[in-house]
Structure 1
Amino acid sequence: MRISGLASGMDTETMVKELMTAHRIPLDKLNQKKQYTEWQRDDYRTVNRTLNDFKTLTNDSMLRQATFIKKTVTSSTPEDISIKNINSVSDFSGKIKVKQLAESATMQSTGEVFKSEADLTKKLSDSTLGLVQPVGNFRINAIKEDGTFDSTLNAGYEVKITADSTMQSVIDDINKNSGVSAFYDSHTGKIAFTAKFSGDVKDTSETVKNPEIVFSGNYKFLGIEETNVIANKNGNGTLGLNAEFTYNGLTTQRQSNTFKINGFEISLKQANNKDITFSSSPDVDSILESVTKFVDEYNKLIEDLNGQIRETKYKDYQPLTDTEKEALSEDQIKKWEEKAMSGTLKNDSIISGVLNQMRNAMSSVVGSVSGANALSKLGITTSSNYLENGKLTIDETKLREAISADPNQVYELFAADGAKDSEKGLARRITSALDDARTKITTKAGSGTTTVNNSFVLGRLLEGYEDQMTRFEDRLATMESRYWKQFGAMEQAIQKANSQSTYLAGMFSTGS
């Protein structure tokens, strides 16, 4: 603790503080530079995220063929069949006559297995259950998703019985891991099994109906027969059936009621053996919405980036020091910093570069595409208002016509690939420009996940400021200590002089 001015009567603490305030001016300048560089780094990173968001939109819409092959499919009886496009670029039409729907094989217990649901949670070893058949591991083999059946030894899933097994745990295991689903019916006391995949087992050489569900091992305690074929014969199950239908004059079958033809997914709902007509056409509204959203987001990006490089830079408004903030209100600080933070990316070459690349990409021709090989062919043109800096406008009527005529050609305009840039689609050129700009920004300002400052340009600059400030603060501490020593020496000298003066005064007083 320092007590100053006792001998001299001077406010040495204030004097030292004022002297140090003057000496701190270079340190405040360094701190202001550091703060401005941090603002600039953060603004670069915000731009980087904005570019990435637009790239993601471009990839998810204009570079996905699924965006442009959306189709509206109509049928004469939609309650009988439903059709949707999966990956076809062509339209789809014709007739379907459904003779039989696909069905899954089933099996049920031949009689009551348990008297109530409460029995399901008892251990299988409980004598009150009255299970006289051997209880042990058993295996379930069932038809696969592709319609085949593995008849090799030990095929299928083995249900293992332990000392703690209950019927509920067995049913849960079957439902989770095997090719069938099972449930207990409390009304009949039976257990029912259904193959998870429908259809008849594929075997063109079969002379006897092959089963879709087969049990082996110690399964008798379930009260069921060995296969669904046997169960069906005895009235305790059904056979797996394929869907049978005639498609454009061709009579054929499918294992499931849902299947694909020419890139369209067909779902059969009812078997009524009558002709059902269907047809498809481009879903113009959906495709138009995707293209319009892309153009709107492109225009927002253009506006944002132009705002960044044209934002006014107020050179007279430097970042506030802590001392300056103490003298201002919160509202004054806010208004000051709005101007101080303005223009951090003014005339930035990286942003100017990506803007030029995107404008050039959107106004050029795609050499690998015939017909609609430029945006203007779709009714999308650059605004005639130069103040809009290259924003795009849409003639919706013309765009609708282009989509209706050939939606896949619209897709190719955006997504075509090629060895040369001139052969690549507009969206591919855009994403390439975005990637290039994002790489440059990351090199200069890092990313949101960057934790090491010396890995990017502005980070190294910030570390340089930190080092300078640390060294300067050490010098200020030494300087302040020297001032206090000097004032302390002055106080001691004055105190000594005062003591001598008092002594002399006392001597003269005694002598008189």
Structure 2
Amino acid sequence: MNDLRISGLASGMDTDQIVSDLMRAERLPMDRLEQQKAYLEWQRDDYREMNKMLLEFDTLIFDGIYRDSTFNQKQVDVSAPEELSIKNLSSTGDFAGTIEVTSLASAATMFSNTNIHLDPTKALSEQGVSGMQTITIQAIGEDGVTSTEPTTIEFDPSEHTLNSLISMINAESNVTMFYDSFTGKVAVTANYSGDAQASDGSNIPEITLSGDFFMNVLQFDDDGTGKATNIHSETLNNGTLGANAKFNYNGLETERHSNTFTLSGFEVTLKQATGDPVHFQSTPDVDSILDTVVQFVEKYNDIIKKINEELVEVKQRDYPPLTSEQKKGMEEKEIELWEEQARSGTLRNDSTLTTAINQMRLDLSSPISGIGNLLSDIGIDTSKDYLDRGKLIIDEEKLRETIANDPNALKDVFTKNGESMDEKGIARRLRDTVQEAMAGIEVRAGRASSTNHTFTLGRNLDNIEDQMDRFEQRLTQIEDRYWRQFTAMELAIQQANTQSTYLMQQFSF
């Protein structure tokens, strides 16, 4: 313990300072270990940052130029967009023709035949509804043809108001119920439009309501069977029938159960009946496709710029990492500027990154078997400036022309599949290269969730930490030895002083 050490009492020496200076020299190997550890941690973090960028690039490729759907994007010009709209969902071909809308699809409705005289905010039991009630709702399904399975609801009038019951019905069934305070009536509308039919083609109700509460409290008309239905007939009291949309498509009279439906991979939405045929024509969505390709090129350029910078960055050997002791005497800004220099060159000439960037360039420049198209053929070329180190340049006019004339050819350049590398499109090649690079980096630097023993730099860090622990123990032993030596010296000097004083006292007589 320090308080048991004798510090310069006899010699007058500043023993604390002397031991501190001696230990500073002894700690030099420990400082080097601390600096090595800091540099390895920077290197590990820089590798992981590179892997993060590569993963973002891989994801961008996968979500963009890797997908066939990217190049199938089309815009459809419609002569009367206020009457109908069309958008491409999955079609790879063109879509053109005329549509003349006779009538729109509509959903069936039913409503009370008289004012029901209920306060929608009060408990139903307070308004003459007693005993447990059971109601059943059946309505046309999403297919616009058949009815769904009946929904049965049991409720206690003492626990429900009309409003709360309506909310429960709307949540659990295929109808939307509404209380109109102005007329004092309840209206029910099927959630799906269309003319419901049985398997034999006969008409069936789009809405069927069962239960005493519907007939005697909400005043829906009984169809004679103890149910309320929108009976198919030319006239319908207290409601409307569901109807199909009717239209003429390129001369063919046809129907759909909804106003939104799919034709040849295109989604058509009818908005109103048309007086005349509406003409439409699909063309490649040049702007959307171009935007995806531009995003890819920009991200690629960012990646190769970053990799090239890391590979050629010079390690500043005059700026070793700061030790914790050195940082104590520096301002925060000084530390930041120093470490900016000290951290340089962590990935200089890295073999994994060098291989990756060379392969990426090869992926872009090698012809594709069976296609022969190069990027330069479609409006993307490599910069002729050597300092750009493989940066891609877009000829927007040429690329737009390629997209407009033959988006499928552009798609093949990026997405073509094959067994060998020369058969694959550019997007597939690049993903293979990027994923291989990421795997190599992960072997060296791991992930944020990795434990040190699972990757190379982590094992090196563990080794350095073990050395530091052992050296710290050794330093403690050395410091104790110095203090024992100085303490022994102080005791010897004190003893000599005592003897000298005694002798002088003896000779003084």
Distance in 2 between residues matched to 1:156 and 1:19, nearest whole Å: 91
CA contact (8 A) 1:368 1:424 kept: no
Equivalent residues of 2:132, 2:154 under 8 A apart: no
Q: Given that residues 72 and 282 in structure 1 are in contact (C-alpha distance below 8 angstroms), is that contact kept between their aligned partners in structure 2?
A: yes
**Partner AA of 1:136 in structure 2:** Q
- In structure 1, the residue matched to 2:242 is 240
- Equivalent residue in structure 2 for 1:82, among 85, 105, 109: 85
Distance in 2 between residues matched to 1:168 and 1:395, nearest whole Å:
63
One-letter amino acid of the counterpart of residue 345, structure 2: G
> Out of 273, 276, 300, which is 1:274 matched to?
276
Amino acid at match of 1:388: D
5+ residue gaps, structure 1, are none
CA distance in 2 between counterparts of 1:173 and 1:148 reads 25
Matched with 2:140 is 143
Contact 1:137 1:217 in 2 (8 A): yes
Which range is displaced more, 388-397 or 94-103? Answer: 388-397
Which of 262, 265, 279 is 2:264 aligned to? 262
- Shift of the 329–136 alpha-carbon distance from structure 1 to 2, 3 Å rule, reads closer
TM-score, structure 1 normalization? 0.93
1:225-266 CA-to-partner distances (Å, cap 9, x unmatched) read 334424985521111101011101111110100001011110
What CA distance in whole angstroms lies between the structure 1 residues aligned with 2:155 and 2:334? 77
Secondary structure of the 1:175 match is helix
2:439 maps to: 439
8 Å contact 2:94–2:282 — kept in the other structure?
yes
* Structure 2 counterparts to residues 3-42 of structure 1, below 5 A: 3-42=6-45
**Cα 1:506–1:433 shift into 2, 3 Å:** same
2:370, 2:241 → 1: CA distance? 55
Query: Separation in 2 of the partners of 1:122 and 1:260?
Result: 46
Any conservation in 1 of the 2:109–2:230 contact (CA below 8 Å)? Answer: no
Tell me by how many angstroms 1:202 deviates. Answer: 3.4
- Partner residue in 1 for 2:128: 130
Query: Contact 1:453–1:462 (CA<8 Å) still a contact in 2?
Result: yes
Q: What amino acid is aligned across from residue 392 of structure 2 in structure 1?
A: L
Segments of structure 2 that go 5 or more residues without pairing to the other structure are: 222-226
**1:150-161 to 2 correspondences below 5 Å:** 150=147, 155-161=149-155
Taking structure 1 as reference, are residues 239 and 351 closer, same or farther at Cα in structure 2, changes over 3 Å only?
same
Q: Which residue of 1 aligns with 2:224?
A: none
Deviation at 1:329, TM superposition (A): 4.2
Q: Distance in 2 between matches of 1:326 and 1:272?
A: 81
CA separation of 1:488/1:364 partners in 2, compared to 1, >3 Å: closer, same or farther?
A: same
Which one of the candidate residues 63, 68, 71 is aligned to 2:66? Answer: 63
* Partner of residue 297 from structure 1, selected from 296, 299, 308: 299
Query: Is the CA contact 1:368–1:416 (under 8 Å) kept in the aligned structure 2?
Result: no
Letter in 2 for 1:319: P
Q: Please say if residues 302 and 391 of structure 1, whose CA atoms lie closer than 8 Å, have aligned partners that are also in contact.
A: yes
In 1, the alpha carbon distance for the partners of 2:28 and 2:403 equals 66
What is the letter of the counterpart of residue 185 of structure 2?
Answer: K
Tell me if structure 1 keeps the 8 A contact 2:6–2:490.
Answer: no
Cα pair 1:228 1:238 within 8 Å, conserved: no
CA–CA separation in structure 1 for the residues paired with 2:103 and 2:361: 58
How far, CA to CA, are the matches of 1:51 and 1:386 in structure 2?
A: 23
Query: Which residue pairs with 1:391 in the alignment?
Result: 391
Structure 2: which amino acid aligns with 1:395?
Answer: D
Q: Which residue of 1 aligns with 2:497?
A: 498
Q: Which amino acid aligns with 2:193?
A: S
1:312 maps onto 2:311 in alignment: no
- Does residue 446 of structure 2 align to residue 485 of structure 1? no
CA distance in 1, matches of 2:150, 2:500: 114
Partner of 2:485, secondary structure, is helix
Counterpart of 1:164 in structure 2: which amino acid? E
Question: For residue 104 of structure 1, what is the amino acid of its counterpart?
Answer: A
* Cα distance in 2, alignment partners of residues 349 and 366 from structure 1: 27
Kept in 2: contact 1:159–1:170 (CA 8 A)? no
Q: Quick one: which amino acid aligns to residue 123 of structure 2?
A: K
State how far apart, in whole Å, the 2-side matches of 1:404 and 1:69 are.
11
Partner of 1:455: 454
Using the alignment, how far apart are the partners of 2:462 and 2:401 within structure 1? 58
- More off after superposition, 137-146 vs 214-223: 214-223
Q: 1:328-367, aligned counterparts within 5 Å?
A: 328-367=330-369
When the two chains are superposed, the root-mean-square deviation of aligned CA atoms in Å is 1.9
Moved more, 93-102 or 135-144: 135-144
1:122 is displaced (CA, Å) by: 2.1
Q: State the TM-score, normalized to the length of structure 2.
A: 0.93
Out of 62, 71, 94, the residue aligned to residue 97 of structure 2 is: 94
Q: Please tell me whether residue 417 in structure 1 is matched to residue 417 in structure 2.
A: yes
Question: For residue 180 of structure 1, what is the aligned residue in structure 2?
Answer: 175
Moved more, 257-266 or 195-204: 195-204
Cα distance in 2, alignment partners of residues 244 and 138 from structure 1:
35
2:500 and 2:116 mapped to 1: Cα distance?
Answer: 121
Q: Distance in 2 between matches of 1:430 and 1:114?
A: 71
Partner of 2:200: 205
The code of the aligned residue for 1:144 comes to G
Check whether the contact 1:124–1:135 (CA below 8 A) recurs between aligned residues.
Answer: no
Of 187-196 and 225-234, the range deviating more from structure 2: 225-234
Structure 1 position 274, deviation (Å): 2.4
Q: Is contact 1:143-1:201 (8 Å) kept?
A: yes
- 1:32 deviation in Å? 0.4
Deviation at 1:459, TM superposition (A): 0.8
- Give the letter aligned to residue 216 of structure 1: S
> For 2:359 and 2:168, how far apart are their aligned partners in 1?
59
Aligned residues: 497
Q: Which runs of 4+ in 1 moved over 6 A?
A: none
